[in-house]
Structure 1
Amino acid sequence: MKHLNKLFGLLLLVGLSSQAQDIDNKWSISFGANAVDGGRVSAVDNVKYQFSQYFDAKMYWNVLPSVSTINVSKYVGDNFSFGVTGSVNKISKFVGDRIYDETTYTSTYPVTNPGDLSYYAVDGVVKYSFMDMIKSKIIDPSLHVGGGYTWIGDASAGTINAGYGLTLWMTKQVGFTITSTYKHSFNDSRIPNSDVPSHLQHFAGLTFKFGATDTDGDGLVDRLDACPKEAGLKEFNGCPDTDGDKIADKDDACPTEAGLAQFQGCPDTDGDGIKDKDDACPDVAGLKALNGCPDADGDGIADKNDKCPDVKGPKENGGCPWPDRDGDGVLDKDDKCPDTKGTAANQGCPEVTEDAIKKLNDYAKTILFETGRASFQKQTFPVLQSITAILKEYPTAKFSIEGHTDNTGKPATNQKLSEERAGAVKNYLVENGIAADRLTSAGFGQTKPIDSNKTKAGKANNRRVEVKLIK
């Protein structure tokens, strides 16, 4: 008992230092007396009779005439609250098992004193209030469920609980509360000091609620204060108006600068219809499309970002006109050869001439390979360099490298050799700066001779590489 009183004192201290349990305040405390029914509800085996003596306090109720129950709970929203209840009692009325009289065909449930057994219980409670539903400020009915642990003498057991309650609010802060809870134990027998029977526990006492807080001290409670942490004016629902422009700071996009309502309290210094906060040029009237900045040359680029503010030019070139360094009518941005005159059809590059094709093939005819292989003879490298130089003069042109052989050997071998030799030329050109996507290679073996294969000179002519323009 001594230790339980200390627990009640601690819970009471927590409750009294907390706020009330409602939409404004999250905590409440209730304390008063409790009554335990002695276990009749579990002793009776017929549902009809379990609650038949529900109000028979004289016969079945165990009451400790003092503050014997305390509850501290917290409001969690949507009319729900969660709390912890501690209670103490003394069991001097214990309902035993049914005694059936076969003569009279009646059942009795003996009530005995098991020895003034101590009763302690700690329970968790989830409560739902119907006060908002019935739209009353005085009558507060509720239902609750939960569970806990109960000690009766030397016995103890966990219970599952459910019940109802009613609070009548005498003032905004003080109410009279009654509750009734069915506590179901899973003990099968009913031996004092060994078992905890299922039973009813009733409570009657006071519930205290405490006033809502006014954090900023401006005379409006926090729930009704649109700015609960800043002292403000009632005309603005408790919010301040720092710059005095008749727009509350919480609605004022510029709370420290007096402004206009049309701009959410922000100023427009240059009068261009754009508030200074969003105006990239707040001191010079400009265009909305350019965030308030002027555009002297009308090219759609703000003067502050225009490298040529007095001459129209595209945004991609910083507001300046595109140059054409080689004067071929193709702007440098589109000119693949900006320093060499070309044609628009060839992206500003010069067209490949027939003379250039002739030179390429004159060189190609002199490319020498090792016999039966795709590797170059040493004296061929200057020729390959000359071919590379010509191709670089036409950076957008695409070419096909074609390999051919004479009829010496098997056709399949010659086909493979011609492909490898054409590929070797292509690889050399790529390795020396010609883009791979400009070149293709193919081999035709001995299928396209340009001379007779019956003479040594004719065979030499047939062993060749050709360079063709891809149009």
Structure 2
Amino acid sequence: MKHLNKLLVAVMMAMGLSSHAQDSNNPWAISFGVNAVDTRTSASPDHVDFFPAHFSQPFDVKGNWNILPSLSYIGVSRYVGSGFSVGLQGSVNKIDKYVVFDPTNPAHDARGLVVYNPGDLMYYGIDATIKYSFQELIKSKVIDPSLSVGGGYTFFGDSSYGTVNPGAGLTFWFTDAIGLELATRYKWSVSGDREDAAGVPDAPSHFQHTAGLVFKFGGKDTDGDGIYDKDDACPDVAGLKQFNGCPDTDGDGIVDASDACPNEFGLAALNGCPDRDGDGVADKDDACPDTAGLAALKGCPDTDGDGIADKDDKCPTVAGPKENGGCPFLDADKDGVLDKDDDCPTVAGPASNRGCPEVSSQALEDLKVQARAIYFNSGKATFKTGDKETPARLDAIKEILKNYPNAKFSIEGHTDNTGSAKINQKLSEDRAKAVLDALVQRGVNPENLEAKGFGSSQPVASNKTAAGKAQNRRTEIKHVGSKYQGKL
């Protein structure tokens, strides 16, 4: 084993080269296994028939092959592109059957072979190889045939010599990176099968067969998705093979980078966005995502077809113009003012008062009578205790006012001259406010009402008599215009 160091040197050198069926994803490969040396192809100088020497009994394993029953070769390889790889292999063997094809030798057997016993002659080989794989050409993922050519240096006992090595191989890939490699190479001696002093070739040409495992490695897969970075369109994000390594988070068949809604299962026609109501408008753009509608109305329906979405249409089942809120132009009270412009669409009134009736003199007189008949506790803003008519009078006032929804009315409070002017002013204001609150509670629009107090400044009778003072303690309701005339 004095030449074992030569094999170790070969292995170290092999870390920079290649000879196996790698690819650009996994450019490196390492292989190891057993080898067999067949010296049968050596011929004596007196016998040079090529074909009988090289092709007779090539698979006579027991008679011709020298096999070391242990790990006896190792190689490292690197892919260089277009199916080619280059590399280095180191091997070791023990020659206990030194077979020479020499039919002229009286000692030859029936096969024309002379078998020598060299006494466990040690064998070492260091071989560089250029190899071409046909795997891509035949488009197979399992079967990988190849041809190779190279050269090496062989240590054969005490002699050593160079060789030229044509070869062939067949690899069966179990996975993308693990395979069984079978190979053979003919190592032709550049020294011409020279003989030693005993007439035995000491630089024989020979076949070397190998069988072993090969492992590819060196591919980079940053995101760990099983797709190498060179083929991964999204090398930093784990994805799917069918999308060249890019993710499809929602599983809708649209890669996230092209998916407008990457976290929601959607439709290809809508760039990956869902459409719950099936109206062709993506939910993210649909103002009515649960009701089928029109694209022109942001996915909302238009039942009456007037161009106004139902949600914005005051009359969704009857067509009407936009300026009328989607309702047709109607004049329900037949007063000549269209409902869209009529503040009182159910009560006839002139256009000059926006379709509402003018406050009649009779209504004003009725308001005056009812308001003056509302009595208060002496010196207070509360309705007179025990007066059962006051609620009826307030109801009567409410019925009059509801006929004039756009008219403004002023509720005025008055007192007699008993007490100071300051006290009377405050009391008159409070009484007017009490009447206003009572009408609002009965449904009168507070925007149509205001309350004012005048104290004792506007008497309607003499304060010198009890009867006159009683008349002066009163409330009155007056028409002061329309609510559209601005603040009073």
State the TM-score, normalizing by the size of structure 2: 0.43
Instruction: Say which one has the larger Rg.
Output: 2
